Structures are given as C-alpha cells and as structure tokens.
Amino acid sequence: HERIAIFAEHIAKMGTALGRTVEAFNGAAGAFETRVLPTARRLEDLGAAGKKPMSDVAPINTRPRPLLSPVTDDLDAYVDRGKGTLSSV
C-alpha cells in the first residue's frame, strides 16, 4: 500500500507541475501575441521581414486530469492534493 501511495504522490506532483507549466506557457503565448507579434508586423511593414513567416502560438486548453480511481480515493486521507505530498493521518 505504501508503494501505491508514493506513486500517487508522484502523479499528484506531476499533475501540479504540468498545470503550472501550462499556465506559464499560456502567459508567454499571450505576451507573444500582444507584445511581440505587433512589433514584428510593424517591422515587416517597414521592409524588415525575415525569411521565415511569422506564426501564431495557440494556447493550450488541456489540463492534467486528477486521479479518480478507487485506489486514489482510499489515499485521499494520506495525500495533500494542494501540495502533492503525503501527510500522516
């Protein structure tokens, strides 16, 4: 049972990290679209176009899904979902 709890802890940590990564990516994609691309387009209009065409960066709309199996339901008493760590009960 301890091995499963430790594995569930690792999965919870990965899910949290993936969620933060998606948030950071979407923030960077938004800044790219609102700050970088308009400047690049103005440079193109002034004749300073590069060889590669500019492309948009699409945000990621998928989030990691939580563990919902019966095994993890039993572990809810042990896993602190907010921190992705095990707690002693």
Neighbour tally for 72: CB within 10 Å: 19
Q: pLDDT value at position 79?
A: 58
Residue 12 lies in domain: 2-50+68-86
Q: Can you tell me the distance from the alpha carbon of 53 to that of 44, in angstroms, rounded to the nearest whole number?
A: 10
Average pLDDT of span 45-61 = 83
Is residue 73's pLDDT more than 80?
no
Q: In terms of pLDDT, which residue wins out, 75 or 63?
A: 63
Q: pLDDT value at position 21?
A: 95
Question: Locate tokens 């700050």: which residue?
Answer: 35
Q: How many domains does the chain have?
A: 1
Is residue 81's pLDDT more than 50?
yes
**Does residue 57 lie in a domain region?**
no
Is residue 60's pLDDT more than 60?
yes
**Does residue 56 lie in a domain region?**
no
Cβ atoms 83, 28 nearer than 8 A: no
Cβ atoms 49, 43 nearer than 8 A: yes
Convert the pLDDT of each residue in 25-38 to its tens digit.
Answer: 999 999 999 999 89
What residues does 85 pair with on adjacent strands?
80
